[in-house]
Amino acid sequence: MGQFFKLADLGAIAPELELILWGMGILIADLIIKDKKKLGIVAIVGLFVSGIFLFRLNGVEATAYGGLLVIDQFANFFKLIFLVAATLAIAISMKYLDIERENHGEYYALILFATMGMMFMAGAVDLVTMYISLETMAIATYVLVGFLRSSQRSNEASLKYFLLGAFSSGILLYGMSLLYGISGSTRFIDIAEALSRRPLNDPISLMAMITLSAGMFFKIAAVPFHQWTPDAYEGAPTSITAYMSVAVKAASFAMMVRVFMVAIYPMRPHWVAIMAAVSVMTMTVGNIAAITQSNIKRLLAYSSISHAGYVLIGLIAGNQTGLIAVAIYLLIYTFTNLGAWAVVVALKRRDVIGEHIDEMSGLFFKNPVAAILMLIFLLSLAGIPPTAGFIGKFYLFASAIETGHNTLAVIAVLNAAISIYFYLRIVVAMFMREPNEKTELTYSPALLTVLAVAFIVTMFIGIYPDPFISMARLAIPAGF
């Protein structure tokens, strides 16, 4: 039976393999090393080594494990996003965990394992591989959300996320089992082939598509499957919230692009209709709910819901511009959003929750640099030039207009306008209000590095986006 496994397959999964070994190494080193911050640095080194392996796969187009996994530029692009997000998230975690007195080696190992799951998700072209990778990521994330064991909010967040996540996985599996029943195969290509032979209005295909989409929409926290998001994001350790809001979301989108653009592509007229409705609801509900929030973590949680709505536009457009927009938007969002969360993490001090909007009051007078950085990240989230966020939104909206989804584009622009209002609320608090004694920041060198990196990339993409766009163009060949 040797024809299914070749030694070359190990080379194809080298970046993931390295993360697994490194994660296990950290679990063992945790017993010996008492200063847990060092383990954070070890984990970052591990992510860099994985990045080197990933770089060696640059430009490789191959399938591995008998067609369960593909190595292509699309997968590599997303894997890079996950590695960057994990690196930045670990960098903002180290000080934060010390403050929470919960600095353990398992934290870093779990982040590496979750990242490994995401990397497999980006490459999976088979339902079983995709599902197992998804669950590896999800279970690691459930634990990380509840990592602050003594905090009731963290426990509650973890439990809610876990229960709803398990439920949504059940729905996802239901759809998958129907697809398997239709095609007799778990490979995306075979499923697409079987679906295209069936009539478009075939009830069983429709049922499979709807349940599968519902499961997927839960993973990206699209309305009406978003209720878990504010609670989970608020209760989780802020560093994990940052990680979840970028990496978990990007991984789910990578999976969605593969499923919707390959496996159930024959059903496109149907899923475009559903997705357009979900996208409009997600943008609108996310933005309107964000207006009334006074907790920064909840506000950014709702903002991340609305961003998922924007990204869905790229899938609805479905052409090359649309998919490039999805990739570039998620890349930009990773840096910008992690930057914004890094500022929130900096507000955290021992015994101070540091997440109410009042605690940002007068930040500009106490710490002008942090306030200006936060301003730039918020402008980028709102999509105002010359920041990177503008480029992402520009591509998304352009793809909607290119494919004739004009109403959708108009609604998205209106939503972007609403979002400026609540982002500016934070800005007003930082720049116009009197500082109170609460406004104080704790820095660590790692946190400062994250802020600097996020700032540089956000501005660089905003001013000179060409290299990143050609990178995304390579990831999305025409006729994906």
Partner 1 sequence: MLETTLFYIFSFVAIVSAILVITQRNVVHSAIFLAATLLAVAGIFLTLHAEFLAGVQVIVYVGGILVLFVFVIMLIALNRTEVERQFNRQWTLAAITAAVLVAEFAYVIFRGKETFPLPSATAAAPAIAVTGNSQLVGVSLYTNYLLPFEIASILLLVAIVGAVVLSKKKTAED
Binding site for partner 1 (CB under 8 A): 1, 4-5, 9, 13, 20, 24, 27, 34, 64-66, 68-69, 101-102, 104, 106, 109-110, 113-114, 116-117, 120, 126, 128-129, 131-133, 135-136, 139-140, 142-143, 146-147, 149-150, 158, 181-182, 198-199, 202-204, 206-207
Pairing of strands 69-71, 62-64: antiparallel
Joined tokens for residue 176: 């998958």
Calculated CA dihedral for residues 326, 255, 415, 88, nearest 10 degrees: -80
- Smallest distance, Å, CB 168 to partner 1? 15
Q: Cα(470)–Cα(250) distance, rounded to whole angstroms?
A: 19
- Smallest distance, Å, CB 120 to partner 1? 6
Nearer to partner 1, 136 or 306 (CB): 136
Cis check: omega of the bond before 266, within 30 degrees of 0? no
Nearer to partner 1, 204 or 291 (CB): 204
Nearer to partner 1, 104 or 349 (CB): 104
Q: Which residue has the tokens 């007229």?
A: 269
Residue from 107, 108, 98, 112 nearest 21 by CA? 112
- Smallest distance, Å, CB 330 to partner 1? 23
Nearer to partner 1, 90 or 457 (CB): 90
Joined tokens for residue 438: 């609460």
Residue from 296, 325, 436, 457 nearest 380 by CA? 457
CB 23 within 8 A of CB 86: no
Residue from 353, 347, 336 nearest 430 by CA? 347
- Smallest distance, Å, CB 48 to partner 1? 21
Q: Cα(215)–Cα(352) distance, rounded to whole angstroms?
A: 37
Give the helix/strand (H/E) hosting 383.
none
- Smallest distance, Å, CB 356 to partner 1? 27
- Smallest distance, Å, CB 443 to partner 1? 23
- Smallest distance, Å, CB 409 to partner 1? 32
